[in-house]
Structure 1
């Protein structure tokens, strides 16, 4: 199996996983009432909000993770020449090792999703404590910022969190539930830049890559007039920005989890072959990058790196990966996000 065939197989599974994640978010925010969210925000009950907005079982998403694992194993078996002296080989996904890997991965994904929800809650609740002061407010009046019109009411914060109902679809969109904490903060910061009325801050909003440029005219007119963007327009602009960040994150997450699961399935094939009698020392793996300008520098340096099956690949920054996308040895998003590399295994008799 060539690197191109591996990546083609992985990319074919990514859209379904992305849609499953977005569907789970829609399920979560659709089940929560704004009144309950508003009440919990008013009470500053972070734990109550985290329970109400939990990402739940994520069953559809995790089933696709399992499918990617099995697909990796299946395609690897087709690609390799199994030594005849091992006899007939059948991959068994019900053995303890695959079941343990999949269970641990499911727990990791659920845990990370719940951390993201809690961080998004904190970002929104924190925005209520940081009041944006328009440039027209005199410094001696800033002690009364609680009375300024730029405070976020519990109702507004609730809508920032779970989104506002779209007139076109009738569904909620533009909330930050489902975004990781730093992405949720990006949305909060963009909102504050537009509401504050500071021209320099509004210009910073116009530098945001994921913004919807169709709203730039509204922002530019506000800058020219020396006024903040209206609340109604900010809700539209920030909501659309959140939607785009959500799509970006869902794509990144689906790519990373598909890549890792597919690679784990391929790796487990060799573990089962070894348990059936294959000499462990005969199995090697080589890191292959795509060889284009999109490859991150560290992975370009790793291209061609060959190690024994049980040895990890090592990135120039010190990260260790058993195969591209692997997180089990502590590699973070800087090594995993949007990776398109592959590992090529070989059985070499010595």
Structure 2
């Protein structure tokens, strides 16, 4: 039988990739349906709200993300009960553990959490896009260039829009805007600062170094390409972090609900269940979770982080983002099955 850790890692890798793909699919769907002419026309009139409306940031673009989240949740619960020990009661009857994917807790989680996730993505994009459009217009840039900086430019080879800031968080949009200003400045100090950005495309470093040496600004067309690649890399980071965090939340919630179902169905007693925090065990684990490693709690208990945060399980959606973003920890459930079966038999 595969270890609890390896099963969890397999699920995490599988659905981490699935959620990231679904997120990027949603972004591509939005970009591919943009009519640039309409966005530009509205910007020419100073109608920023109308330009944002023309980009059509529809929730439905992320339907695949909601489906992937549901699949991760269901698989997390199913795999937990599949790997519970095969037991028999004192009369020789096999104890059957099942995970009901259509249970009230699961349906509430998928409905509410999915809605909140997509709303958060869409709302944050609106803020980021508004920031970018207002900044471009306030700097006197022409509406077409401003629009292209937001929606991206079409790659003549792939036919897809690349760059732009659709899909980025509002802080990431500010990173792109400030990077573009550094590249356009012609100021050696600002250009050197651009070279400290970790997510930049280093293939353009020679161009930036040449501009520093010659004391000349970089051509606007070249800046658009450099900023576009920087934006694409930030979007990749955003998708990866969102997918990892949401996969952890789905799996952690499903596993907790699955064990709670066994208790509610009388298969085991709550007093006989302990949950133990297990970190990923490498140098990437955040300090607060290294401290939690090996700590135990009752099934409905919580783990107290040294940061002051309280978590029911890794990926707990009620915990601060700083405690769940990129987390790879999991819970090990320890059950005194013999005690539970004897108690169940006596009660019968």
- After TM superposition, the score normalised by the length of structure 2 is 0.89
Q: Which of 265, 283, 291 is 1:276 aligned to?
A: 265
Quote the Cα distance in structure 2 between the aligned partners of 1:309 and 1:228.
61
Q: 3-state DSSP class of the match of 2:112?
A: helix
Please state if 1:223 is matched with 2:212: yes
Q: Is 1:179–1:249's contact at 8 Å kept on the other side of the alignment?
A: yes
Residues 41 and 279 from structure 1, CA distance in 2 versus in 1: closer, same or farther, beyond 3 angstroms?
farther
Q: Is 1:289–1:300's contact at 8 Å kept on the other side of the alignment?
A: yes
Residues 97 and 83 from structure 1, CA distance in 2 versus in 1: closer, same or farther, beyond 3 angstroms?
farther
Report the equivalent of 1:66: 70
Residues 55 and 306 from structure 1, CA distance in 2 versus in 1: closer, same or farther, beyond 3 angstroms?
farther
Q: 3-state DSSP class of the match of 2:59?
A: coil
Q: 3-state DSSP class of the match of 1:325?
A: coil
Q: Which of 54, 63, 67 is 2:57 aligned to?
A: 54
Q: 3-state DSSP class of the match of 1:286?
A: strand
Q: Which of 272, 275, 288 is 1:298 aligned to?
A: 288
Q: Which of 284, 302, 307 is 2:297 aligned to?
A: 307
| Residue 62 of structure 1, CA deviation | 1.1
Quote the Cα distance in structure 2 between the aligned partners of 1:83 and 1:347.
12
* Number of aligned positions between the proteins: 329
Report the equivalent of 1:267: 256
Report the equivalent of 1:326: 316
Report the equivalent of 2:15: 13
After the TM superposition, which residues 152-301 of structure 1 pair with which residues of structure 2 at under 5 Å, given as runs? 152-277=141-266, 278-301=268-291
Residues 51 and 71 from structure 1, CA distance in 2 versus in 1: closer, same or farther, beyond 3 angstroms?
farther
Report the equivalent of 1:148: none
| Residue 129 of structure 1, CA deviation | 5.4
Q: Is 2:43–2:51's contact at 8 Å kept on the other side of the alignment?
A: no
| Residue 9 of structure 1, CA deviation | 2.1
Q: Is 2:48–2:133's contact at 8 Å kept on the other side of the alignment?
A: no
Quote the Cα distance in structure 2 between the aligned partners of 1:154 and 1:215.
26
Q: RMSD of the alignment, in Å? A: 1.9
5+ unaligned residues in a row in structure 2: which ranges? 341-348
- After TM superposition, the score normalised by the length of structure 1 is 0.89
| Residue 48 of structure 1, CA deviation | 5.6
Q: Which of 95, 107, 115 is 1:99 aligned to?
A: 107
| Residue 32 of structure 1, CA deviation | 1.3
Q: Is 1:160–1:176's contact at 8 Å kept on the other side of the alignment?
A: yes
Please state if 1:125 is matched with 2:127: no
| Residue 2 of structure 1, CA deviation | 2.4
| Residue 335 of structure 1, CA deviation | 1.7
Q: Which of 306, 310, 316 is 1:316 aligned to?
A: 306
Report the equivalent of 1:146: none
Quote the Cα distance in structure 1 between the aligned partners of 2:51 and 2:260.
44
Bigger mean CA offset, 206-215 vs 259-268:
259-268
Quote the Cα distance in structure 2 between the aligned partners of 1:40 and 1:129.
12
Quote the Cα distance in structure 2 between the aligned partners of 1:281 and 1:129.
63
Quote the Cα distance in structure 2 between the aligned partners of 1:47 and 1:323.
43
Q: Deviations over 1:219-268 (max 9, x none)?
A: 11111111211100000000001111111111111111111101111111
| Residue 79 of structure 1, CA deviation | 1.9
Residues 305 and 273 from structure 1, CA distance in 2 versus in 1: closer, same or farther, beyond 3 angstroms?
same
The structure whose RCO (Cα within 8 Å, separation 6+) is larger is 1
Quote the Cα distance in structure 1 between the aligned partners of 2:17 and 2:218.
36
Quote the Cα distance in structure 1 between the aligned partners of 2:160 and 2:332.
45
